[in-house]
Amino acid sequence: MTLVFIRHNIKDYPLWKAVFDGFMEKRHAGGERSFRIAHAVGEKNDLCLVFEWDTAANAKRFLDSADLAAAMKRAGVVGKPQICVAEELAGGRTEARWHEDTRGIAD
């Protein structure tokens, strides 16, 4: 699975989110499969985004598009974003594993 990590500053979250949501069809058509939005602790305008994409090639093509650059400008993105395109090596949920491994120890 291809993951895209983006971190950027914005002027105003409600404006940014409206543009982000309005761009969902294009993101999906380009190959995006899911997203998560967070902000740095104590920094509401410092966004940290994680996306799943169908392929690295599609993610890179989308990230290099003029449509995305224009949308980011409309959304009030400040400065140049930090972007990393990565291929997942492993994954899991530690919560489920923790409960499974410790069952009976604390009982």
Q: What is the mean pLDDT of each run of 10 residues along the chain (107 residues)?
A: 97 97 96 98 97 98 96 96 96 73 51
Q: What is the pLDDT of residue 95?
A: 77
Beta bridge partners of 83: 6
Count CA atoms closer than 13 A to 84's CA, side-chain side.
Answer: 8
Q: Is 89 helix (H, G, I), strand (E, B) or coil?
A: coil
pTM score of the predicted model: 0.84
**DSSP one-letter string for 4-34:** EEEEEEES-HHHHHHHHHHTHHHHHHHTEEE
Give me the CATH code for the 2-102 domain, please. Answer: 3.30.70.100
- CA 103 to CA 98: how far, in whole Å? 8
